[in-house]
Structure 1
Amino acid sequence: MSAALPTPARMWPRDVLKVGAVGLRTRPMRAFLSSLGIAIGIAAMVSVVGISSSSQAELDRQLDALGTNLLTVTPGQTFGGDEATLPDAAESMVARIGPVDSVSAVGEVKGANVYRTDRIPEAETSGITVLAARTGLRSAIGIELSSGTWLNAATSRYPAVVLGAKTADRLGISRAGADTAVLVGGEWFTVVGILERAPLAPELDTAALIGWPVAEALLDFDGHPTTVYTRSDPAKVEQVQSVLGATANPEQPNEVEVSRPSDALAAQKAAGQAFTGLLLGLGAVALLVGGVGVANTMVISVLERRAEIGLRRSLGATRRQVRLQFLAESLLLSTLGGVGGAVLGALVTAGYATYQDWPTIIPGWAVGGGVLATLGIGSLAGLYPAIRASRLSPTEALAAP
């Protein structure tokens, strides 16, 4: 009666992990370099998604603060292709629309330039526009002041100017005050205020704003508004938008352009999402390259450890156990890279969001998806080397140099 063959010892999951970690412990530098490729790919993907999400959260926060109910009316072109003009009464006519809560306007003072001193050549205008502004403009748009005060009923009749954020930077002025003046259209104007950036009205960032009366009195302003700003009932913005052009210029409604500034910010968001898709594609390529690196490492590991494989097989290890050993090693290698990449991506996102003063948003699905992707790549990368290792016979493996 023949003796029964001994049953191979069962390997518990903990044993599989311990055996699979042997290659990582004995060759730490190779393991680090192999997992680094995957870490870079995961870090790129997590940081791209995180920065994009943080940017979108900041944009949503801006829109919540600024509102999406601001509409602007500007002159378009005449039938002959010339620049049209808005009627002097456009502002008052728009104010009669029922759902409109507030109306204000600016008018471009043509031919007027702004200089810091009278010694600057006339050609160096710095791209600054002079605008006559109504006193209710700031409250209608919702712009904050970084320094000084806004125009009021008194200062709008005298040579006083409020500078846009970029205008102040270009002129080298950081604070408003009675001792600070600029040359506007050949006249000295006292800088009474400096605006914060205006996301919904970027044309004001590069403008010097003066009172409507003083613009007519000193700079030959023709009194025609070039932009009318309206705030409406948020639930009726679309209805107001549909009648705004005909109301502002009843005689020539086709010569009026109506826009919603928040749509431009939404378009930026959409463009950012398209760019994010491109960067995610690049991150996926980096992840694929990292997976190839892991596969290469595992193949070399099998070749170098044939003697070890032969010894384990001769001591009773089954082919299945050898496959599990190398598959576990590949998964551990990939997981280390995935976790490290996820942490690195989160740190990059947090650092960049903090630098930009954005809310830090790191979607959980991006981190979880990245780690799961590394497990899939680790499985695929280690499958062939594991099968190859399990097919080595004990005698062939032990006879290898």
Structure 2
Amino acid sequence: MNSTPRRRTRLRPTDLLRLGMIGPRTRKMRSALSALGIALGIAAVVAVTGISNSNQQHLLERLDQLGSNLITVAPGKGSDQKPVPLPPTAEKMLAAIGPVQQVTATGATKANIYRNDLVPEQQTGSITVLAARLNLLDVLRATLTSGHWLDAASENLPITVLGDQAAQRLGVTGPGERVWLGGQWYKVAGILAPNELAPELSTSALVGRPQAVAHLGADGTAATVYLRSYSERVPQVQSVAAATANPASPNTVAVSRPSDLLAARAETENTLTGLVLALAGVALLVGGVGIANTMVVGVMERRGEIGLRRALGARGGQIAMQFLLEAVLMGFLGGMGGLLLGSLAVYGYALAQDWAAAIPLYTLVVGPAVSVVVAAIAGIYPALRAAKASPTDALRSA
């Protein structure tokens, strides 16, 4: 008697999905705990990445404010080892460089400053009188310990702002006192706080540019120019600053190297990135081990189900696919839950620290995807073990 061979049936995707839901649906508590394990792993990844990134952005902003993007252009020395003044056009030319955001300058004067008109002329206390632009404090991120800075009105009047060391040497304790400057009395408007970016200002007396030009022998040109550019463009600005300030003789222009904070900025970014990757790897490993453990236990507990399905004609590949889908579903649910938990942790921490929350976009996309991949890898061994189970042995041990 001729018998027609049976055609091997294939499960439709919807059937596979229903099979994959058998475990999570019938073992809700265990599946929930497994998903919670991967959720905590992904939440740790998102939280660590987001908090570190928020901290990093806050720190880098602080470094930028302090001066990692500040460049100083000053007179250099010529062949005779004497300082060569910057050309009158240097400040405007430097301001025209594309990546430059802010420009300010100080200018030299011919005046000296004394506590009163009875002090001998030679006892200057090594204090320099400089003509200052009104935006000097803004560009240098400088502050005052007392008093106020120059404004559009006071820059035309006999008013000065003293550096912290200059005030100490003159015996000035606060604003409102008078000093003898350039042969006349000047009122002290304020005292600067120490500034590491421009330490030369600590021993200076600053007056408005118009007042310095009119009464203190200043010629209106810049003696030192301070530039702020985009942080990532600092090397490019530095490379062209000398030729821009003095095209005829760029070798006589002294351009400061970017602040050491720029190196600290890059080092901080690399260190935090490495820390995030390391902690994320550990968190994913823990979540993957949790799912693998749960799936192995599930295979052992469901030998009767596996044996019955094999006896009814289910192939080993279909059994394997069932358990693999269960692992993937738990990984996906855990990944989405972890994404939510991690995001809440980041925003809560950032709010407590008064930072701007910054979760990298790649984390939001890659997090759930990685959880699925980790869950699939963790489920391969249990799935293969279930597929290789003998129907008779499985039914006997059920």
TM-score by length of 2: 0.61
Q: How does 1:2-401 map to 2 (within 5 A)?
A: 10-50=10-50, 70-72=70-72, 93=86, 95-97=88-90, 99-101=93-95, 103-105=104-106, 134-136=131-133, 138-139=135-136, 141-142=138-139, 149-152=148-151, 153=154, 184=168, 186-190=171-175, 203=197, 211-212=205-206, 228-231=224-227, 238-241=239-242, 258-261=256-259, 264-265=261-262, 268-269=265-266, 271-352=268-349, 355-358=353-356, 360=358, 362-363=360-361, 365-401=362-398
Q: Which moved more, 1:96-105 or 1:16-25?
A: 96-105
Shift of 1:378: 2.0
Gaps of 5+ in 2: 77-81, 96-102, 109-126, 177-188, 209-222
- C-alpha change, 1:70 and 1:291, in structure 2 (3 Å) is closer
Q: Secondary structure at the residue paired with 2:72?
A: strand
Shift of 1:382: 1.2
8 A contact 2:132–2:207 mirrored in 1: no
Q: Secondary structure at the residue paired with 1:71?
A: strand
Structure 2 counterpart of 1:239, which letter?
A: V
| Whole-angstrom distance in 1 between the partners of 2:356 and 2:2 | 76
2:120 alignment counterpart: none
- C-alpha change, 1:132 and 1:8, in structure 2 (3 Å) is farther
| Whole-angstrom distance in 2 between the partners of 1:155 and 1:375 | 69
Structure 1 counterpart of 2:258, which letter?
A: R
Q: Secondary structure at the residue paired with 2:394?
A: helix
8 A contact 2:43–2:341 mirrored in 1: yes
Deviations 1:179-204 (A, max 9, x none): xxxx95543213967999x9xx7647
Structure 2 counterpart of 1:230, which letter?
A: Y
Shift of 1:311: 2.3
Gaps of 5+ in 1: 77-85, 108-129, 164-182, 215-226
Shift of 1:323: 1.1
- C-alpha change, 1:332 and 1:236, in structure 2 (3 Å) is closer
Structure 1 counterpart of 2:15, which letter?
A: D
Shift of 1:56: 7.3
| Whole-angstrom distance in 2 between the partners of 1:52 and 1:247 | 48
Q: Secondary structure at the residue paired with 2:150?
A: coil
| Whole-angstrom distance in 1 between the partners of 2:71 and 2:280 | 40
| Whole-angstrom distance in 2 between the partners of 1:37 and 1:156 | 71
The alignment of Structure 1 onto Structure 2 pairs a total of residues equal to: 333
| Whole-angstrom distance in 1 between the partners of 2:315 and 2:384 | 12
Q: Which moved more, 1:308-317 or 1:382-391?
A: 308-317
2:186 alignment counterpart: none
8 A contact 1:48–1:276 mirrored in 2: no
Shift of 1:277: 2.6
Q: Which moved more, 1:347-356 or 1:288-297?
A: 347-356
Q: Secondary structure at the residue paired with 2:382?
A: helix
Shift of 1:400: 0.9
Deviations 1:24-66 (A, max 9, x none): 2333343333334433443344445555666777799899999
Shift of 1:18: 2.4
- C-alpha change, 1:228 and 1:59, in structure 2 (3 Å) is farther
Shift of 1:294: 1.2
Structure 1 counterpart of 2:32, which letter?
A: F
Shift of 1:342: 2.7
| Whole-angstrom distance in 1 between the partners of 2:67 and 2:160 | 32
| Whole-angstrom distance in 2 between the partners of 1:282 and 1:231 | 39
Q: Secondary structure at the residue paired with 2:11?
A: coil
| Whole-angstrom distance in 2 between the partners of 1:349 and 1:194 | 41
8 A contact 1:309–1:397 mirrored in 2: yes
8 A contact 2:289–2:378 mirrored in 1: yes
Q: Which moved more, 1:379-388 or 1:227-236?
A: 227-236
Q: Which moved more, 1:329-338 or 1:315-324?
A: 315-324
Q: Secondary structure at the residue paired with 1:11?
A: coil
8 A contact 1:245–1:257 mirrored in 2: no
| Whole-angstrom distance in 1 between the partners of 2:369 and 2:41 | 13
Shift of 1:283: 0.8
Q: Secondary structure at the residue paired with 2:331?
A: helix
Q: Secondary structure at the residue paired with 1:230?
A: strand
| Whole-angstrom distance in 1 between the partners of 2:394 and 2:290 | 25
Q: Secondary structure at the residue paired with 2:389?
A: coil
